[in-house]
Amino acid sequence: MDRETRAKSKEALSILKQTYPLGRYGKVAQLPYGNIFSAGDRYLDLVIEGVGTKVLLAQLADKYDTIGIDGVAMAVNDVIRSGATPLALVDNIHAQISDPELVREWLKGIAKGAAEADCPVPGGEIGDVADIIKGIKTGKGFDLIIASVGEVLENDIIFGSNIKPGDAVVGLRSSGVHSNGISLVRKVLFKEWGGKYEPLGVPDGFNKEIIYEVLEPTRIYVKPFLNAAKEVEIKGAIHVTGDAYLKFDRLMKFSKGIGFEFTNFKPQPVFELIQKTAPEVRGTVTDEEMLKTFNMGWGFAVVVDKNDEDDAISIIEKSGIEAERIGEATSSEKIVAQYNGRKLELK
């Protein structure tokens, strides 16, 4: 699905606004990346996420013990954007066949991700739906969905509404591709979908098989983010997933008159491999498209006052995640990137 069609499809979400007055408290706070709802003296942030076609790579490798980490990461990294602390997780796995060994492997990853996010998993569901799910390995098809709920006091909500030109954007290092742009990755890198490499091939310059490079789990940012939020004011937070740096336009809608300029990208070698290989198998992938699709080295980002930049970076790095200034808020009302010696206007 192209971005324009996807955007039009999302317009249907306005239908749900008629439900906002419902429920015990009947109060919904609208944020740049979703909405949170009142529960007495605090708000709850409820997120449900999947890992998309990365499940196909798990099947291609016949390796299932890390994909659950991706599912947890996709959910909890979204929850924290509002300033909320994740409280719990539940999983929903639709399986071609719920083979006991497969189930154990899926749940190993979920449990590991939950421990990293400091969240219990009090429930979930596994459904056998062979008429819907067909895997690339017989009997091993599945889809993985994770939901997470978090809580935040009203005074601590990150509304993204007070960002000003000159504010710093601090990036938190990604572990690689994470769980977005995987359809493009599959079609460029893997012969199974018309790409260049066998899954166990080791491209020049790499020290492990390409399938395991791409399967590297999505990084979980809960602890470093919450540690930073205790000490400095986080004005905005972005989980750099689908649409990548275009996601910052959501903050632009809540802080009027701003834009963003990004000047620091550190793409891991896998991103360079994708772009270099694409012309051989399916056509050129431009620098602009790379920045609109992939995290390019930074899986999460926070916007802070420039005077808080050093403190934010220090706290995050003490939590074990590399962090750097990757850009700043501007008055341009555009999203601009300095990349490969060129100035690119993304939006």
**Residue 201: predicted pLDDT:** 97
**Residue 280: predicted pLDDT:** 97
**Residue 199: predicted pLDDT:** 97
CA-based nearest residue to 56, from 134, 109, 131, 147? 134
Q: For residues 119 and 85, give the distance between their C-alpha atoms in angstroms, rounded to a whole number.
A: 10
In a domain? residue 42: yes
Do residues 297 and 171 lie in contact, with contact meaning Cβ atoms separated by under 8 Å? Answer: yes
**H/E stretch holding 182:** helix 182-189
Boundary-marking domain end, from 92, 124, 156: 156
37 and 143 within one domain: yes
pTM of the complete model beyond 0.85: yes
pLDDT truncated to tens, each residue of the chain (347 aa)? 566 787 777 777 778 777 777 777 778 999 998 899 999 889 999 999 999 999 999 999 999 999 999 999 999 999 999 999 999 999 999 999 999 999 999 999 999 999 999 999 999 999 999 999 999 988 899 999 999 999 999 999 999 999 999 999 999 999 999 999 999 999 999 999 999 999 999 999 999 999 999 999 999 999 999 999 999 999 999 999 999 999 999 999 999 999 999 999 999 999 999 999 999 999 999 999 999 999 999 999 999 999 999 999 999 999 999 999 999 999 999 999 999 999 999 99
**Residue 35: predicted pLDDT:** 93
**Residue 66: predicted pLDDT:** 98
190 and 152 within one domain: no
List C-alpha distances in Å: 69 to 85, 108, 199: 18, 9, 21
**Residue 256: predicted pLDDT:** 95
227 and 299 within one domain: yes
How long is the chain?
347
193 and 120 within one domain: no
**Residue 14: predicted pLDDT:** 77
147 and 251 within one domain: no
182 and 62 within one domain: no
- DSSP assigned state of 31: E
Q: For residues 66 and 92, give the distance between their C-alpha atoms in angstroms, rounded to a whole number.
A: 16
Do residues 197 and 160 lie in contact, with contact meaning Cβ atoms separated by under 8 Å? Answer: no
Boundary-marking domain end, from 156, 178, 208: 156
Give the domain extent around 84: 14-156
Strand 335-339 and strand 342-345: the pairing is antiparallel
**C-alpha radius of gyration, the chain, whole number:** 20
CA-based nearest residue to 53, from 138, 142, 129, 127? 142
Boundary-marking domain end, from 132, 156, 180: 156
Do residues 192 and 60 lie in contact, with contact meaning Cβ atoms separated by under 8 Å? Answer: yes
CATH number where 106 lies: 3.30.1330.10
Partner residues linked to 336 by β-bridges: 261, 345
In a domain? residue 73: yes
179 and 141 within one domain: no
Angle among Cα 278, 279, 280 to the nearest 5 degrees reads 90
| 229 contact partners, CB below 8 Å, separation of at least 6 | 83, 156, 158
- In the numeric block, the tokens 């399938």 are attached to 211
**Complete edge-to-edge strand list for the sheet that includes strand 85-95:** 28-31, 34-38, 42-50, 142-153, 85-95, 123-128
The domain tally of the chain equals: 2
The DSSP line for 59-105 is HHHT--SSHHHHHHHHHHHHHGGGTPEEEEEEEEEEESS--HHHHHH
Q: For residues 336 and 246, give the distance between their C-alpha atoms in angstroms, rounded to a whole number.
A: 10
